Structure 1
Amino acid sequence: MPIRYEMIIYWSEEDEAFLVEVPELPGCMADGETYQEAVQNAEIIIQEWIETAKEIGKPIPEPKGRLIFA
């Protein structure tokens, strides 16, 4: 299943790693030593988030694509 959720990716000096947040999936975050590793880890975490939500009967938000922040 292709990942269609928006990912916010940034460098964290404190963690010395790239961090990825998935705003549409509460609490869904990943990290990595490189940008590519962080994105790959986020894809895994998104799948796990969805699988867990299905197991516990939690609704899974539909991807909205690009979110706009004011």
Structure 2
Amino acid sequence: MRQVILYPGEDGWWVVECPSLPGCVSQGKTKEEALRNIREAGGAYIEALEQDGLPVPQERFDVMVVAV
């Protein structure tokens, strides 16, 4: 299980990032599509690390909302 950040992109698509997997970013026309895509991207990311014998990063982020 991984935390993701989902936000609207400048082009109207939804962007989603998985901070615990550096560089794992995807997008979709809808929030649902973006979330499906990040699940696929995260799975492929982890699979590639395992195939290369590299450690899979642990989930290590806390999420907080801060008023600015």
Q: Which has the bigger relative contact order, CA under 8 A and spacing at least 6?
A: 1
TM over 0.5, yes or no?
yes
Name the structure 2 match of 1:6: 3
Rounded to whole Å, the distance in 2 between the matches of 1:61 and 1:46 is: 11
Q: Which runs of 5+ in 1 are unaligned?
A: none
Q: Which runs of 5+ in 2 are unaligned?
A: none
Q: Normalized against structure 1, the TM-score is what?
A: 0.81
Rounded to whole Å, the distance in 2 between the matches of 1:44 and 1:59 is: 19
The correspondence of residues 1-70 of structure 1 with structure 2, limited to 5 A, is 4-13=1-10, 15-64=11-60, 67-68=62-63
One-letter amino acid of the structure 2 residue matched with residue 47 of structure 1:
G
Runs of 4+ in 1 over 4 A off after TM superposition: none
Deviation at 1:62, TM superposition (A): 2.3
Rounded to whole Å, the distance in 2 between the matches of 1:29 and 1:68 is: 18
Q: Secondary structure at the match of 2:7?
A: strand
CA RMSD of aligned residues (A): 1.7
Aligned residues: 65
Deviation at 1:61, TM superposition (A): 1.6
One-letter amino acid of the structure 2 residue matched with residue 24 of structure 1:
S
Q: Which has the larger radius of gyration?
A: 2
Rounded to whole Å, the distance in 1 between the matches of 2:14 and 2:63 is: 22
